[in-house]
């Protein structure tokens, strides 16, 4: 199934979504606006004849200084029948926000945290949007194109973590709620 | 009689713990010995490889992607080469494709041997670790033979291989393939019906098929749960559609089935390697004949002006890749492994994103260990086969 066919199918299921097939050669690719991405992904996952149940990957690309600056990329796959699909979601540089898809795939949890960490794209509805790879108190988002390749950060001596028992418990309760929510 | 005081206890495991396969920190909340909740922290090994690749020329990326995951080095460079070759539109010669399949299957055996050894050691069978590393040593010798480098050979190149196979390659691989099945039988004698091993692994860390799909756990974890997805079968790449092999699956999705699946995969890989060895001639073409990506032979560089210019261009500027993006996944030892490659038409990548199967497995640790016993945490971490360098990149 190529991109125009898939787009036609999707338009029938999600009529309000603005979809635009792209001409990528390696796999079918559809451009979706940020507002429609959740509805489109639900349709792709839950429609039996589409069957894109597998979220292979989720990432972002920074096209600085072009506008819209960011592009969210979702790689989906259907195993039976074997099919692949890529969704691209343009994200403006001024207000980089896209809806979270953690309620569709729990696998997206850490992937979205990684994108927030490295690109600074905010995932609306993500219950626990913290840095994943960089230290919590890090300044900036390293994979942005305007972030320098080498930064000199003074050596930091960590104080022992001062968390009261109540705070510690509150963190664990929060983490548990997050997981049960997804 | 005073009321019995009940409260949960929190235990910190890691970051420096010998059984976390690297630097992984897990905070466990315990009720007695039962795990109520857990929270994993990663990022201790973050080296910014994806940022670094954006500064490198295309061919220079290969050593970097190999170093992401020391157990699937050649699978990583294979996936990267396939994606870039798709963008360049290169049609790789058959002999190169067979050599690549042979190498990545040997890499899979290598990875599974290390996994089997360390996993068995962590659940109490230390001798298996020593045996597995003995066989793995032979694979490292083969790497040394082809590339002079044991862990990260960087033998694959965009457009083919770095050089032709060395003399004695077929013999070395054949003797390894002849030796391994008997050794695998020995390991299975030690583990498959071992009462202690069964008690430590059966019914532990269960992941259902549906949960495996929801958590994107392709590879041995998903297959142990009965999800038969294998990239080699579903989306054949690089000539895998001509290879005969079976996909091993389990039914229970527990630690024991993951063990069975990986051992069966090693046996399948032996069969694939034998098929490939038959197809590979000892000498022959080892790179595509395309002056854009393949450097000219050295004797021509010294005698022909054209070849000298081409050599100079490739080693100073590198080659450019047409603008666009590609994602060609391969079945790595830990599941779907792919590189999303974006080019703006220049001689350096615009963006490279590694799909890390280890990251997703690490994320799924919490649902696997919660509700289980604290002693099972080690068995589960071992069974999901994470390489922390690949998690953090």
- What per-residue confidence (pLDDT) applies to A64? 86
Handedness of CA B25, B250, B357, A60 (dihedral sign): negative
> In chain A, count of helices (H) and strands (E)?
4, 7
Which of chain A's residues have a Cβ under 8 Å away from the Cβ of B393?
Answer: 133
Please state whether beta strands B335-343 and B324-327 pair in parallel, antiparallel, or not at all (unpaired). antiparallel
Instruction: Please indicate whether, in this complex, the C-beta atoms of A105 and B214 are within 8 angstroms of each other.
Output: yes
> What is this model's ipTM?
0.86
- What per-residue confidence (pLDDT) applies to B113? 92
The alpha-carbon gap from A148 to the nearest alpha carbon of chain B, in Å, equals 10
Q: Report the range of poorest mean pLDDT among B96-100, B269-273, B389-393.
A: B389-393
Any CB–CB contact under 8 A between A161 and chain B?
no
| Separation CA B221–CA B105 (nearest Å) | 18
Count of all residues that appear for chain A in the document: 182
Q: How does residue B48 score in pLDDT terms, banded at 50, 70 and 90? A: confident
The alpha-carbon gap from A55 to the nearest alpha carbon of chain B, in Å, equals 6
Of A53, A82, A172, the CB nearest to B39: A172
- What per-residue confidence (pLDDT) applies to A74? 93
| Separation CA B261–CA B249 (nearest Å) | 6
Any CB–CB contact under 8 A between A31 and chain B?
no
Q: Containing H/E element for B258?
A: helix B255-279
Statement: residue B33 has pLDDT above 80: yes
Q: For residue range A5-34, list pLDDT tens digits in order.
A: 888 888 888 888 788 888 888 888 988 988
Q: Give yes or no for a contact between B51 and A143, defined as CB atoms under 8 angstroms apart.
A: yes
From the list B203, B276, B283, B229, the residue with the least C-alpha distance to A56 is B229
Q: For residue range B348-364, list pLDDT tens digits in order.
A: 999 999 998 889 998 89
**Phi, psi for residue B91 in degrees, rounded to 5:** -110, 105
- What per-residue confidence (pLDDT) applies to B266? 92
Q: Which of B6-15, B135-144, B286-295 has the highest mean pLDDT?
A: B135-144
Cβ contacts of residue A115 below 8 Å, gap of 6+?
A: A58, A59, A60, A72, A121, A123
Architecture of domain B56-287+323-392: Orthogonal Bundle (1.10)
Question: How many CA atoms, within 13 angstroms, populate the side-chain half-sphere of residue B250?
Answer: 28
Q: Which domain holds residue A60?
A: 3-154
Residue A160 lies in a domain: no
Other C-beta atoms lying within 10 Å of the C-beta of residue B149: 15
- What per-residue confidence (pLDDT) applies to B326? 92
Instruction: Please indicate whether, in this complex, the C-beta atoms of B39 and A55 are within 8 angstroms of each other.
Output: no
- What per-residue confidence (pLDDT) applies to A182? 55
DSSP B222: H
Q: For residue range B197-253, list pLDDT tens digits in order.
A: 888 888 888 888 888 999 998 889 999 998 889 999 889 998 898 999 999 888 888
Residue A36 lies in a domain: yes
Strand partners for B37? B29
Residue A58 lies in a domain: yes
| Separation CA B195–CA B256 (nearest Å) | 12
Handedness of CA B216, B221, B226, B232 (dihedral sign): positive
Instruction: Please indicate whether, in this complex, the C-beta atoms of A107 and B39 are within 8 angstroms of each other.
Output: no
Residue A54 lies in a domain: yes
Any CB–CB contact under 8 A between A148 and chain B?
no
Residue A46 lies in a domain: yes
Statement: residue A98 has pLDDT above 80: yes
Tell me the CATH number at A124: 3.30.460.80
Q: Please state, rounded to an integer, the average pLDDT across all residues of chain B.
A: 89
- What per-residue confidence (pLDDT) applies to B69? 87
Q: Where are the domains of chain B?
A: 56-287+323-392
Statement: residue B19 has pLDDT above 90: no
Instruction: Please indicate whether, in this complex, the C-beta atoms of A26 and B86 are within 8 angstroms of each other.
Output: yes
- What per-residue confidence (pLDDT) applies to A90? 92
Tell me whether the omega of the peptide bond preceding residue B39 falls within 30 degrees of 0, making it cis. no
Q: For residue range A21-79, list pLDDT tens digits in order.
A: 888 888 889 889 888 889 889 988 888 888 888 999 999 999 988 888 899 999 999 98
pTM: 0.89
Which of chain A's residues have a Cβ under 8 Å away from the Cβ of B360?
Answer: 107, 110-111
Statement: residue B346 has pLDDT above 90: no
Other C-beta atoms lying within 10 Å of the C-beta of residue B244: 8
- CB burial readout B21-46, b (16+ within 10 A) else e: bbbbbbbbbbeeeebbbbbbbbbbbb
From the list A78, A73, A77, the residue with the least C-alpha distance to A91 is A73
More confident residue, B48 or B2: B48
What is A79-129 written as a DSSP string?
TTTTEEEEEEEEE-SSS-EEE--TTT-TTHHHHHHHHHHHH--EEET-TT-
Instruction: Please indicate whether, in this complex, the C-beta atoms of B327 and A26 are within 8 angstroms of each other.
Output: yes
The alpha-carbon gap from A64 to the nearest alpha carbon of chain B, in Å, equals 11
Cβ contacts of residue B145 below 8 Å, gap of 6+?
A: B166, B168, B169, B172
Which of chain A's residues have a Cβ under 8 Å away from the Cβ of B346?
Answer: none
Instruction: Please indicate whether, in this complex, the C-beta atoms of A84 and B324 are within 8 angstroms of each other.
Output: no
Question: How many CA atoms, within 13 angstroms, populate the side-chain half-sphere of residue B387?
Answer: 21
DSSP B3: P
Q: For residue range B56-98, list pLDDT tens digits in order.
A: 999 899 999 998 888 889 999 999 999 999 999 888 999 999 9
Q: Containing H/E element for B110?
A: helix B94-122
Statement: residue A138 has pLDDT above 70: yes
- What per-residue confidence (pLDDT) applies to A181? 66
| Separation CA B301–CA B207 (nearest Å) | 57
By the 10 Å C-beta count (0-12 exposed, 13-18 middle, 19+ buried), B130 is classed as exposed
Q: How does residue B182 score in pLDDT terms, banded at 50, 70 and 90? A: very high
């Amino acid at each position: 199934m190529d991109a125009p066919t898939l787009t036609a199918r999707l338009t029938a299921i999600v009529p309000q979504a603005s979809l635009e097939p792209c001409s990528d050669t390696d796999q079918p690719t559809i451009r979706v606006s940020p507002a429609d991405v959740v509805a489109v992904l639900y349709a792709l996952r839950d429609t039996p004849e589409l069957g894109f149940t597998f979220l292979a990957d989720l990432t972002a690309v920074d096209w600085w200084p072009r506008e819209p600056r960011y592009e969210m990329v979702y790689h989906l796959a259907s195993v039976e029948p074997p099919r692949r699909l890529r969704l691209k979601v343009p994200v403006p540089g001024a207000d980089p926000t896209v809806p979270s898809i953690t309620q569709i795939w729990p696998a997206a949890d850490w992937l979205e945290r990684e994108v927030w960490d490295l690109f600074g794209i905010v995932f609306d509805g993500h219950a626990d949007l913290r840095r994943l790879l960089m230290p919590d108190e890090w300044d900036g988002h390293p994979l942005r194109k305007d972030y320098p390749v080498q930064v000199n950060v003074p050596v930091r001596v960590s104080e022992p973590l001062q968390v009261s028992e109540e705070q510690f418990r509150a963190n664990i309760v929060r983490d548990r709620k997050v997981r049960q929510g997804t | 009689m005073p009321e019995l005081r009940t409260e949960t206890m929190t235990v910190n495991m890691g970051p420096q713990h010998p059984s976390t396969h690297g630097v992984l920190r897990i905070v466990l909340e315990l009720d007695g010995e039962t795990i109520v909740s857990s929270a994993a922290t990663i990022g201790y090994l973050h080296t910014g490889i994806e940022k670094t690749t954006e500064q490198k020329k295309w061919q220079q990326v290969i050593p970097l992607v190999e170093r992401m995951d020391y157990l699937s080095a050649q699978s990583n460079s294979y996936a990267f080469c396939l994606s870039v070759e798709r963008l360049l539109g290169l049609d790789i010669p058959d002999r190169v494709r067979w050599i690549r399949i042979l190498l990545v299957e040997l890499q899979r055996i290598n990875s599974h041997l290390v996994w089997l050894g360390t996993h068995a050691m962590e659940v109490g069978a230390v001798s298996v670790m020593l045996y597995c590393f003995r066989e793995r040593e032979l694979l490292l010798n083969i790497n040394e033979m082809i590339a002079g480098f044991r862990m990260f050979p960087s033998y694959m190149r965009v457009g083919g291989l770095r050089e032709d196979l060395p003399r004695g390659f077929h013999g070395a691989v054949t003797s390894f393939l002849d030796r391994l099945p008997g050794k695998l039988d020995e390991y299975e004698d030690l583990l498959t019906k071992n009462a202690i091993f069964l008690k430590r692994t059966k019914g532990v860390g269960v992941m259902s098929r549906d949960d495996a799909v929801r958590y994107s756990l392709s590879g041995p974890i998903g297959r142990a749960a009965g999800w038969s997805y294998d990239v080699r079968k579903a989306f054949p790449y690089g000539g895998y559609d001509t290879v005969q092999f079976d996909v091993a699956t389990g039914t229970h999705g527990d630690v024991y089935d993951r063990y069975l699946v990986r051992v069966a995969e090693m046996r399948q890989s032996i069969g694939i390697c034998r098929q490939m060895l038959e197809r590979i001639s000892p000498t022959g073409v080892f790179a595509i004949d395309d002056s854009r990506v393949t450097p000219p032979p050295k004797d021509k560089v010294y005698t022909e002006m054209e070849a000298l210019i081409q050599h100079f261009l490739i080693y100073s500027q590198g080659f450019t890749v047409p603008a666009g993006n590609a994602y060609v996944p391969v079945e790595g030892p830990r599941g779907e492994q792919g590189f999303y490659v974006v080019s703006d038409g220049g001689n350096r990548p615009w963006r490279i994103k590694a799909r890390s199967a280890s990251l997703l497995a690490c994320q799924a640790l919490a649902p696997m260990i919660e509700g289980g016993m604290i002693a099972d945490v080690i068995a589960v971490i071992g069974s999901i086969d994470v390489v922390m360098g690949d998690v953090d990149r």
